[in-house]
Amino acid sequence: MILGVSGPYGAGKGEVVAYLEARSFYPLSLSDVLRDELRARGLEETRERMIATGNELRAKSGPAALAERLLARLAPDRNYVIDSIRHPAEVEALRAQGRGFRLIWVDADPALRIERLRTRGRTGDPDSLPKLLEQEGRERRGGGDAAQQLDAVEALADFRVRNEGSLAALHAEIQRVLGACQGFERPSWDEYFLGVAQMVASRSNCVKRHVGALIAQDKRIISTGYNGTPRGTRNCNEGGCPRCNGFAESGTRLDECLCSHGEENAIVQAAYHGVSVRGATLYTTFFPCLFCTKLIINAGIREVVYDAAYALDERAGKLLAEAGVAVRRVERTRA
């Protein structure tokens, strides 16, 4: 879950961020990108300098420049709350990363907000209502594509929170937002197991193709395998296989190949550890070859799920069908 927080001066954005941080959301700010830039330039941080630097970076690298820099910090297994969103292109960039970004707009009456600003006494804050409205006016409407455009950001908000009562009331509003954001998509079991198989493939030592396979039973992984030279011998990428290192044409010099296939290794590893694969499903990043097909059938595997087709799979496919082994293709989405 990634929640963005935006709004005018003194609306209570900091309190929203603090509330979410206490509930395991990692806080990030587009202002941190500006602070990093100012430190790199050896400049002291001021509000005016932050605004000018933000406008400069947007003009130079595009209106979503700050959000794009921040995206590199996002880990896929964490909830985040991101504040200081002040341009619609930043909202669109955060939405485009594909993790269900939602924007919260926090607001309050200007007279109440100026009292809050006076109480917190932060350098650079406006100290009167006319100054507040004047400064906000510039930031709300913007002065070109690279300038702050808070009105346009507000128009993109998924949730609007009025913060004109007690902290308890604000917290209740944030809990309402959290309740509305709990629905999210999870990968199917096929996507999950094929994703794991793809990671297994990264351990392959074959110089021609990396293939990963796993065997699952009752939604539990019982064995994995990747292609490469046999246990205790020289790895293919270290010169261990003459066929692969010679980059032989597909289907030729097979008698010289010393690499075991991913599906083969997954079945062998199960046997090595005394684990039955009867009735299981084999997931593989490539359609199995004829040799692996015979192993699959004789091992009692009931289903093969694969990602990518293979040039020599016609005979293997017919044999799997004849043996009653179900075959499905599930293509994984790649970035």
Q: Which residues are known to be catalytic?
A: 263
Rounded to 5 degrees, φ, ψ at 195 are -65, -40
The answer to whether the beta carbons of residues 303 and 326 sit under 8 Å apart is yes
Q: How far apart are CA 206 and CA 265, in angstroms?
A: 13
- Nearest-CA neighbor of 290 among 267, 266, 311, 269? 311
Q: How far apart are CA 162 and CA 22, in angstroms?
A: 21
Distances (CA, A) of 199 to 7, 232, 233: 42, 22, 23
Place of tokens 């003194």: 10
Q: How far apart are CA 15 and CA 21, in angstroms?
A: 10
Distances (CA, A) of 146 to 50, 62, 221, 236: 13, 8, 51, 53
Place of tokens 């006494």: 121
